[in-house]
Amino acid sequence: VESIKDQPLEDGDEVVFHYADDYSYEVEDWFSDSKHPRLGDGTYYSEWLTAEDAEPTAAPSDSEEEDSKNKAVPPQSTVTTAAAPDGGTVATVTARPDAAPEISGSQSSVSVTVPPEVDSVLSAATAEKPAKIRIDAPASILIGQIGSASVRTVALTVKVPAAAVDGTNAAVKLSVGADASILQAAKKARKDLVIRVTDKDTGKEAYSWRFSGADLADSPASVTDVDLALNVQPASSDPAAAAVTAANAADRRAAGTLLRFAGGGVLPAPASVRVYVGSQPGCAPNSKVCFYRLNGALKTLEPMPAAECAVDADGYAEIAVSDRSDYVLLPRAATNPYPVKSDTTYPLAVKKGGTYTFAVTVGGGADPVFRVGNGSAFSSSEKRAGNKCYLTVKAAGTPAPGIATAVYCALP
């Protein structure tokens, strides 16, 4: 619009703005001059890019098409490599969108592709010289889309080489970082966030995470950076998992599939994780599997609130997790699981005067003892019926009504 001021316009003259087909040219043109305003997050402005053209233009000539090929394209993801202390290589991917965000209904979809330079790092990985691939979600782009009033869900697809996710090389470690600022923006705006990791050659999804905006907003847990990487392997291939699953099988043989989440600790909110397990032991498509948390310290399997999950026709299982830990999927129920199961495995806030009841299922003749903390913060009462125990906590404390006075976390 800078050039309009130089036109001999009079009151009442019509000014028609046309949408440019080649958004990358327009972005380059607008941001190459400091006089012009920054749009959106400084890379893309989705509302501008999706605007309707006021008047269709004629088909471009051959010379115009040739000029278009020479125009700027969106910046692509880049890779830097560095030697690791263990003698291996760390490849850090600076993720940039493959194209402008695609808006469909109320969802904005963004994709990033790991550059081919990473392939050589993966192929050279050995036990003596391991490889770590680090990818961080493009925070500014995602936060910009979360801030759009017309968007309810922001979905990021991270396209990686198969060798980074298929588990065939134990010397390869993948890290998929979601910065706390992204999750905080989704929490504040109550927007859903989906992050998928796919094979960049076939497009097949390895796994995906979904954080509900409502769950993020209601969670009392701290919002921190989260590594979303997930390793899937036979339980028999890991000594600790093999020993525990064998102790929980009638034939005393290691069984099932190990799901190993990167990092550790409580998530900013409970998440739904969809993961491909169709080629893993005990997880045939169109089957039911039993879901447990692997407690390495106690060498036991802890029953999850959702004891079973389905493997669909395409070989995917969907599980609910509240912390990044190790989990196993078994074709049959464990014969010797941890004897206490809680229906609540995530921190929760209880407002002053409010109550919450934990339902605990007891097995194996166990007689659990419930202990509470500071009596000035909350009081508790207990009821038992058969193998069920109900522990009710009531928030006391001094804050005004409606303010959370304490945070509780029930662990199996």
CA dihedral 371, 376, 378, 380 (to 10 degrees): 50
pLDDT at 48: 45
Q: Where are the domains of the chain?
A: 2-69, 78-330, 340-408
Query: Average of pLDDT values for 166-187?
Result: 95
Check the CA dihedral 32-34-36-41 and report its sign. positive
Q: Per-residue pLDDT for 200 more than 60?
A: yes
Q: Give dist(CA 337, CA 91) in Å, integer.
A: 40
**CA-closest candidate to residue 332, choices 374, 273, 288, 362:** 288
Measured CA to CA in angstroms, residue 320 lies from 156, 176, 209, 238, 340 at distances of 20, 19, 10, 23, 19
Query: Average of pLDDT values for 90-103?
Result: 95
Are 18 and 53 in contact by the 8 Å Cβ rule? The answer is yes
Q: Give dist(CA 382, CA 357) in Å, integer.
A: 9
Interaxial angle between packed helices 139-146 and 180-189, expressed in degrees from 0 to 180 and rounded to the nearest 10: 0
pLDDT at 82: 95
**CA-closest candidate to residue 99, choices 59, 151, 43:** 43
The average confidence (pLDDT) of the chain is 84
* pLDDT tens, residue by residue, 126-142: 999 999 999 999 999 99
Q: For residue 60, name the pLDDT band (cuts at 50, 70, 90).
A: low
Share of the chain above pLDDT 90, in %: 60
Q: Per-residue pLDDT for 329 more than 50?
A: yes
* pLDDT tens, residue by residue, 222-269: 999 999 999 999 999 999 999 999 999 999 988 899 999 998 889 999
Q: Give dist(CA 208, CA 195) in Å, integer.
A: 6
The DSSP symbol for 286 reads T
User: Which tokens belong to 257?
Assistant: 């599939």
Q: For residue 371, name the pLDDT band (cuts at 50, 70, 90).
A: confident
| Cα 401 → chain centroid | 34
| DSSP per residue, 107-174 | EEEEEEE--THHHHHHHT--SSS-EEEEEE--HHHHHHHHT-TT-SEEEEEEEE-GGGTS---TTEEE
pLDDT at 186: 98
User: Which tokens belong to 201?
Assistant: 């050659």
348 vs 13 pLDDT, higher one: 348
Are 41 and 140 in contact by the 8 Å Cβ rule? The answer is yes
The DSSP symbol for 402 reads T
Share of the chain above pLDDT 70, in %: 78
Return all residues near 388 (Cβ < 8 A) that are at least 6 apart: 359, 360, 361, 362
Are 350 and 380 in contact by the 8 Å Cβ rule? The answer is no
User: pTM above 0.75?
Assistant: yes
